[in-house]
Amino acid sequence: MDRIFSTFCQRIASWAGQPVAFIAAVLIVLIWIVTGPLFQFSDTWQLVINTGTTIVTFLMVFLIQNAQNRDGAAIQAKLDELIRAIDGARDDFIGIEHLTDAQLEQIKKALEEHCSEDARHRQSIARLIERR
């Protein structure tokens, strides 16, 4: 079931990101607008587009979240592999995505403090700022 859902989400998310999907959505809205006078801009006419867009939005939230979760997990696995494979890299960073926000902020501050003591780091930051 998990494999079927992942495949389904992947295909829909891929299709939804294509220009054809955008054009289809625009055409649906244009058809809805053109039919307004035919239905005398009734409440039912308005309810059709409101209900349709609400349902599509509701379902797309889950599909997009699934795609982002999958992409995030893949990126984390790749980064963990790079950390593991590089000599001198600290293996302590593998899996830190499971820490709390407060713990991650502590690690970030410690790294920034460590780097701010390094003259080369300060020079490279200064060069980056000058480029802007």
C-alpha–C-alpha distance, residues 30 and 120, integer Å: 58
Alpha-carbon Rg for the chain, nearest whole angstrom, is 24
Print pLDDT tens along the chain (132 aa). 888 988 888 888 889 989 999 999 999 999 999 999 999 999 999 999 999 999 999 999 998 898 888 899 999 999 999 999 998 888 888 888 888 999 988 988 888 887 777 777 777 777 777 886
CB-CB contact of 85 with 77 (8 Å) = no
pTM, 2 dp:
0.64
pLDDT of residue 132: 67
C-alpha–C-alpha distance, residues 113 and 30, integer Å: 56
Classify residue 118 by its DSSP letter. Answer: -
